[in-house]
Amino acid sequence: MSGEQPKDPLIVTGVARSGVRLMSALLDGHPELASGPDLPFLITMAMQWKEIASTLGENHAKYHSLGREQVRDSFRFTAAKLFAPRLEREGKERFVIQSFAAMLSLEAMAALFPTTRVIVMVRDPRAVARSLLRCNWRNPQDGRPLPYTQDASVGGRFWAEFMRASLPGITSLESTGRLKIVRYEDLCAKPEATLTEVGEFIGKAALPADLRQASADCVIASTDNEHPPLRVGHLDTASIDAWKSGLPADTVRAIWSAAAPIAERFGYV
């Protein structure tokens, strides 16, 4: 392997309906960044690398002249090769992975991509639960709608369980300065200030200007025809409190009961 090193991708992740695709679309508007649809197998690849490194690393070093970093870089280059045509076509230099599943594999992803930075989108669980009701997501095994798209109380529990499982990785990476929490509400209510912070975090200071560019009245189509489309041109506060009028009071209480201990950590009350 030559001394050439791939430029590790940025990672944008979060619970579904928390603004992951919105943030990815905004970053895609930057002249040096490109984002693409979620590739879940990248998470499998990171976990596979971790398994190989932990169980076979000694054997590979002893009998195959394969060092730990060499094996890791083989996987890094594999990812870089997948992103290369897109970056080359658009004349951009760094890829942005958008992935919901990355939330549950943050440490493996951060270890595989040692220079990556991770943006975790967080949104009020009550708004997430309400938004999930708009999604036509079905169990691929039996074709039935997923429970959290049918019942907002289940959506609240889904949010809480997903976040609880992700917290160790979030806490670990946050302590190293490689992870930034971005609240969806802050992105909508004060986009320039929030994106300035994001720009500083990822070392791309020009984000607010690019936001204005990206905010031209455009609609980003869903990649799978199941997500509601994104309207990047309508970053406003309307979607922040919509749950207050869109959900029955007892449902709101049920969601909050499941999610409060974690939601409060991120400033939701």
Partner 1 sequence: MSFQASTEVPAPIFIGGVPRSGTTLLRVILDTHPRIHCGTELRVVQALANLSTNAEQSAAKILESAYGVDLPRLREIFAELILEFLRPAWQASGKPRVAEKTPWNLLAFPQLHRLFPRSPLIHVIRDPRDVVASRLERDRMAASGNAIDTVALAGHRAREWTDAMAIGRFMRSNSEFAARYFEIRYEALVRTPEPVLRELFAFLEEDFDPAVLNFHRTQREVTGSEEWSAQAVQRPLFESSIGRWKQDLSESEQAAVTSVAGGTMEHLGYAVNGMPA
* Interacting residues with partner 1 (CB under 8 A): 1-2, 4, 6, 36-37, 39-41, 44-45, 48, 51-52, 56, 59-60, 63-66, 70-71, 74-75, 77-78, 80-86, 89, 223
Residue 70 CB, nearest distance to partner 1 (Å)? 7
Pairing of strands 118-122, 230-231: unpaired
**Is-contact 111 51, C-beta < 8 A?**
no
Sign of CA dihedral 179, 183, 188, 194: negative
Residue 45, SS3 per DSSP: helix
Residue with tokens 């960044």: 33
CA separation for the pair 213, 242 (Å, rounded): 27
Structure tokens at 34: 């490109």
Count the neighbouring beta carbons within 10 Å of the beta carbon of residue 238: 9
Measured in whole angstroms, the distance separating CA 39 from the mean position of its chain's CA atoms is 12
